Amino acid sequence: MKLQSINKTGMVLVYVTCENVDQAKKIGRHLLEKRLCTCVNIFPNMQPMFWWPPKANKIDESTEVVLIVKTLEPKYQALEDEIHKIHTYETPCVFAIPVTHVAKKYYDWIKGELK
């Protein structure tokens, strides 16, 4: 399969942690309906460990759901803003991972859906 370098076009995967599958579905559906992304993937039953609350010197162990959102970089800020509007976490984990290579047909589909 031929790969296309897209460093300049800016496809990104946006990593978002959620409280549960229902929240991930709600956020994913909201982003799709606003045409801020083309596809979401939900990974249930993640087991994070992190410092929380801030500066409390306590490691929190819980369960979360990871939502991966596929979009283009120009959509990122609006996408992040929408996530913050409906997310229940005080400080949700939201960040973009640049995609350096993608199959041309898949990339064309993404571009076509986000026009």
Q: Is residue 10 over pLDDT 70?
A: yes
Structure tokens at 51: 């410092």
Q: Give the closest residue to 24 by CA, choosing from 46, 2, 4.
A: 46
The pTM of this model reads 0.87
Please state which of the ranges 5-14, 23-32, 44-53 shows the lowest mean pLDDT. Answer: 5-14
Fold of 3-113: Alpha-Beta Plaits (3.30.70)
Per-residue pLDDT at 5: 45
- With cut-offs at 50, 70 and 90, classify the pLDDT of residue 111: very high
pLDDT in tens, 39-64: 999 999 999 998 888 888 899 898 99
What amino acid is encoded at 96 in this protein? A
The whole-angstrom separation of Cα 39 and Cα 35 is 10
